[in-house]
Structure 1
Amino acid sequence: MGGKEVLIKSVLQAVPVYAMSCFLFPMGFCKELEAIFARFWWQKSTGKCGIHWCAWQSLCTPKENGGMGFRDIGKFNIVLLAKQGWRLISKSDSLVAQLLKAKYYPTTDFMQSRLCANLSYI
C-alpha cells in the first residue's frame, strides 16, 4: 500500500498539473480521474477489483486528520487557477498579463473583470 500511495501522489496526481494550471477541468472529468485513482488504490492485483472500504473523499483528508493526504483534483484545479490569477495581479507588467489584459479586460483590472461571450478556455 505504501508503494501505491507514492505512485498515486508522485505520478498519477502530478501528470495533469500543468494542464490544470491553465484550464478549468469539468467536475465530471475530475470525478472520473478520482475514480481511476480509487480503483487503483483498492485493487488487489492487475485485473482484480478490490472492495472500496471508504470513500475517496475520506482518503483526501490530511494525514493528521486520519486520511491519506491525497489531493482533491477539483479543488486543486481551482487553487492552481487562483495562483495564475495572483500572478496576473502581482506581476501586471509581465507579457502574459499585458496580453490577457488587452484581450479580456482592457478597461478594468483583473479583479473587476467579468465573463463575456466568446471566451477561450484559458
Structure 2
Amino acid sequence: MSCFRLPDTFLRDLERVMTALFWNGGLEDKIHWKSRAALCRQKKVGGLGFCYLRECNAALLAKQAWRISMGEGGVLHSVLRHKYFPSSNLSEAHLRSAPSFTWRSILGLGIC
C-alpha cells in the first residue's frame, strides 16, 4: 500500500468488508447503525477513528516521494532516483516511456 496506488474499486470493497466485520463479526448482511463517514471521524469528535483507505494510500505514497526527494531510504529509493531523475530533483522528474508501477503511482499523486 505504501509503494503502489491501489485501484479505487479494490479500496471500496476492502472498506466494505472492514465495515461489515466491525458491525457483524462476519460478512453477512446486518444493520449498520452508523454510516462509514461517522466511523471515519476522529475519536475526539465522536467517531471511531477508522481511516479512508484511499487517503491513507495517498499519504503513504507521498511519504515515499518525500523520502526519495530527501535522499533517505533504501535500495528502492536510490534506484528510482538514479533511473528517473539522475541529474535533477523530484519536482523536475517526468514520466518516461514504460515507467515502473511504483514511479507512476508516485507521480500520479500530482505533488511532484
- TM-score > 0.5, shorter chain as reference: yes
Aligned residue number for residue 12 of structure 2: 31
* 3-state SS, counterpart of residue 70 of structure 1: coil
RMSD: 2.2
Aligned residue number for residue 11 of structure 1: none
Gaps of 5+ in 1: 1-19
Distance 2:26 2:45 in 1: 31
Shift in Å at residue 54 of structure 1?
2.5
- Using the size of structure 2 for normalisation, the TM-score is 0.76
Contact 1:23/1:81 (8 A) holds in 2: yes
Distance 1:95 1:39, change over 3 A: closer
| 2:18 partner amino acid | F
Shift in Å at residue 107 of structure 1?
4.0
* 3-state SS, counterpart of residue 86 of structure 1: helix
Contact 2:5/2:58 (8 A) holds in 1: yes
Matches within 5 A, 1:22-101: 22-43=3-24, 46=26, 48-91=28-71, 95-101=75-81
Distance 2:26 2:80 in 1: 46
| 1:84 partner amino acid | Q
| 2:3 partner amino acid | C
Gaps of 5+ in 2: 103-112
Equivalences, count: 102
Deviations 1:36-72 (A, max 9, x none): 01111221x5564311223212201101112100111
* 3-state SS, counterpart of residue 62 of structure 2: helix
Aligned-residue sequence identity (percent) comes to 32
Contact 1:27/1:74 (8 A) holds in 2: yes
Deviates more, 1:55-64 or 1:104-113: 104-113
Contact 2:71/2:78 (8 A) holds in 1: no
* 3-state SS, counterpart of residue 47 of structure 2: coil
| 1:31 partner amino acid | R
